[in-house]
Each structure stands twice: as structure tokens, then as C-alpha cells.
Amino acid sequence: MAKIAINLPPATRGLSARLLILTIIFVLLGEVLIYVPSIARFRKDYLDQRIEKARLAALTVEAVPDAMVSETLGRELLRHADVRAISLKRAGRRTFILAETMPREIAASHDLDSASICDLIADGFQILWNEDWEAIRVVARSPKDDEELLVDIVVDAKPLRAAMLDYLVRILLLSLVLAGITASLIYLSIHFLLVRPMRRMTQSLVSFQRDPENATSDVRVTRRRNEIGVAQRELRRMQEEIRQSLRRQARLAALGGAVSKINHDLRNMLSTAAVLTDRLALARNPEVQRLAQPLTAALDRAINLCTQTLAFARADAAPLDRVRFALRPLIEEVGADLLLIQSERRIIWRNAVSEDLAIDADRDALFRVLFNLVKNASTALSAAGISPAQISIQAEVPAGRVVIEVWDNGPGLPEAARAHLFEAFSGAGRSGGTGLGLVIARDLVISHGGEISLVRTGPEGTVFRVTLPQKMERAVTD
């Protein structure tokens, strides 16, 4: 059978595509954060270069006698220095070196030596935002002079702004290239390492959910030793276990249907045999009476096995009918039925439940739970020959739940019984037992959202506890 086709999201809307877009966005955001200080650094380097060129031009002028140069040479020096004017300041004395036609307005003045990184960033963005600025004044210390010498220049703002914009464009293009390369590499890595195996696992899960019996839907296991490999192996193991469980359940369901039909006819046969055996027991022949007694016991056990098997099959068939009722009368009914079927045995029965305790549960289901527990206790007491045999039921109401405990003074459960306490047909650790009573009780308690457990067992007796969660109210009943 071919693998079932399923509708997974296309690659453009999958995890890889989203990761690609997010990677590009994050790289661009990172480049923006890098650009802010870098543009300030670019502007400072640009102006530092003008300061150094201006200082070289000033040295040329100072080398000429009387510091006088021709107008043509002065313009050439200013052009090579890319400045509009140059002046020097030494020990409080200012010396005007070179100047051409001065701008109408100097938009701003900047001291590069005292400016902080925040000042440099703010000054850089001022240049970018004010395209109408004509010139700015810049002051900085000459880096290669031993004496304290300040170089004061006037720089055209528009060439500086154009250079900063060109730098911005180059950074943007570089960022886009880096973002594309990085995102593509991450996309391919994540796609092949994570997304593609995850898509295969998702496809396998959906196909398995639609057709568990189809073995071609099982996930393909690779040799990966990372989390993906562990997930593949565990998913494959889970699929195989579920498929085997479904097959077992199907076989058990078919077997259960057949057993139910056989049970019906078998109970009728056993009932007829039981009636005939009862008549044999009335015979006056001692030998007949001696043989009839074990035969009757065997027939009773066979009928009980059929009854419990059918009850086990119907344990979760009917929905719960939860009502609020007083617990003590229910315990009295359990005790009355127990004493009725165990009339030949002397049992001291104790109902220690308060008369005003009311609970919210399915009354018939809880009756079956408690009756199975006390019947098992009675059978164990009889088999051990305990006299006098005692069985007690008590209940208390902690916050949000009711706790019912069933106690007997028997010798305790053997280790074999404790190991398979709630397993069907385990025999409950005694000869002739089926173990269905506790299994049925457990299923009914679980259907209430509660739990049943063995609290203790030993020479001092055995205690089973039934816990049912609910909102409890204490109300006086008539």
C-alpha cells in the first residue's frame, strides 16, 4: 500500500523560509547597530585627514620667508588639503595661515579632541540630515607636533555629507550581501539538518494516524546521534508498539465477542448442572453427599468465573450515572449481601462510616467496587481459617476528595499476589481465583477519576484504599 499523501505547508511558508527571512532581518538590524558608531568613526577619520593635510600646508607656508606665498600657491595648498581656511593656535596666540573666499555662514563648530562618542554620533547625523549646510569649522590638536598646537580649519559640508552617504550605501550593499550569504547558509543548514527530517517525521505521524496498519508510514530511521536521531528511533519504536497493541486489541475484541457468546451458553449448562448437583446433595447416601460437596464447589467457581469474565468485559461499557447519596446505607447493603452469600461463615462486620457523609459518585459502580473488595477479603479469611473473621469499612473526607478504606484481619497477601494485584486472570494469589474482582474495581474507580491502592498487608491484616476526587459537602440525611 502506498504512503498516504498529506498536505504539509509549502517550502515558502515552512520553517526554513521563515528562518531565512528572520536571519536577513536580524543581520540587517545588526548592521544598523554597527553603522551608527561606524559612520561617526568615518566622519572623524575624514576630518582627521583634513587636519593632517592642513598642518602640512601650514608647514609649507611657514617655510617660506615671511610666511608669504603667492595667491596661486595658496589656492593649490587649500585644494590639496580639501579645506577652505587654515589657522594655527599656539599658547593662546592665533596665527592665520591660508584662506580663500570664506562661506557666508559656518553652520557648526566641532572640537574633535573633546568630543565623546555620543557627540561624534550626533554630529555625524547632523551632517546627514542638514543637506543645506555649506561649511563647518573643525578644531583638533596636531597629532605629530610636540608642542600644544591646535589646527583650526573650515571644511565644506557637502563633500563630507556626500562621502558619508556613499559610505552608507556601501555599508548597506555589504550588509545585504552578508545577510544573503549568512541567511542562505543558515537556511540550507537548518533545512537539511532539522526541517527536512522534521517534515518527514510529521508526514509519518499524519500517515500513521490515518492508517496505523500501513507499515510504509513508519518514519525512516537514520544514523544520527543527535536529538533528531533519538526522536526518529523513539517514534519508530512507538509506531511499532502501537501497531502491535492495535493488533492485540483487535484479536482480543474478536476473542471477547466469542467468549461472551460461549459464556452465555456455558452458564446455562453450569446452572443446570448446579441444580442437579443440589439434588444429589439431598440424597441420603453418604458417598453421594461426599462427592456432591466438592462438585458443588467446583460448579460455583465455574459460574463465578463466567460471571466475572462477563462483568470484566462490560466494565467500561455503560457511562457513569453520578448522583449524590449517603455513603453509610450503601455500606450496609454491601455488608448485607456479603453476609447473605457467606451465611455459613462467621464474619464480624463493622460499618464505621458517618451517617452524615454524602458523596458524589455512581452508586451501582461504587457498590460493585466495595463488594468486590469485601468479597475478596471474606474469601481470604475463610481460606486462612481466621476466627473470628473481621471486615471493616471506614471513610474520611480530606479537602476535595473522599477516602474509603476496607480492612480485614487476615494473614495478608502473599508476595505473588502483590506482584500481580491488578492484573486480570492472575489468580489473585489464591487457588481458583481469577483476579477479575480487583481489576473491575480498579477500572470503575479510574472511571471516576480516582485511584485504588493497597495501603498495607501483613499479619496484622490488609487495607485497601479507594480515593474519589470531588467537592464534598457534609449533609445530614434522614
pLDDT digits (tens, 9 = 90+) for 1-47: 344 455 555 656 666 677 778 777 877 777 777 777 888 888 888 88
Residue 99 has pLDDT above 70, yes or no: yes
370/468 same-domain check: yes
272/340 same-domain check: no
CATH number at residue 401: 3.30.565.10
Q: Which of 180, 205, 227 is the last residue of a domain?
A: 180
Residue 326 has pLDDT above 90, yes or no: yes
Does the residue 237 lie in any domain? no
Q: Mean pLDDT, to the nearest integer, of 125-134? A: 85
358/469 same-domain check: yes
pLDDT at 476: 39
278/415 same-domain check: no
Does the residue 118 lie in any domain? yes
Residue 279 has pLDDT above 80, yes or no: no
pLDDT at 392: 93
Does the residue 216 lie in any domain? no
Domain total of the chain: 3
255 — pLDDT class (breaks 50, 70, 90): low
Separation in Å, CA 316 to CA 260, 333, 447 = 15, 23, 8
pLDDT at 427: 52
Higher-confidence residue of 29 and 309: namely 29
Does the residue 197 lie in any domain? no
Does the residue 315 lie in any domain? no
306/175 same-domain check: no
Q: Which of 310, 328, 353 is the last residue of a domain?
A: 310
pLDDT at 468: 93
463 — pLDDT class (breaks 50, 70, 90): very high
pLDDT at 179: 76
Residue 280 near residue 288, CB atoms below 8 Å: yes
Q: Which of 180, 206, 231 is the last residue of a domain?
A: 180
pLDDT at 474: 46
293/324 same-domain check: no
Q: Mean pLDDT, to the nearest integer, of 428-440? A: 63
| Residue 255 structural domain | 243-310
Residue 221 has pLDDT above 50, yes or no: yes
Average pLDDT of the chain to the nearest whole number: 78
70/106 same-domain check: yes
pTM of the model: 0.45
Q: How far apart are CA 239 and CA 209, in angstroms?
A: 10
388/299 same-domain check: no
Higher-confidence residue of 148 and 303: namely 148
Residue 473 has pLDDT above 60, yes or no: no
325/371 same-domain check: yes
177 — pLDDT class (breaks 50, 70, 90): confident
95/146 same-domain check: yes
Does the residue 95 lie in any domain? yes
Residue 344 has pLDDT above 60, yes or no: no
51 — pLDDT class (breaks 50, 70, 90): confident
Does the residue 220 lie in any domain? no
302/378 same-domain check: no
Residue 343 has pLDDT above 60, yes or no: no
33/158 same-domain check: yes
pLDDT at 201: 79
Does the residue 437 lie in any domain? yes
Q: Mean pLDDT, to the nearest integer, of 206-218? A: 73
pLDDT at 260: 67
418 — pLDDT class (breaks 50, 70, 90): confident
Residue 220 near residue 232, CB atoms below 8 Å: yes
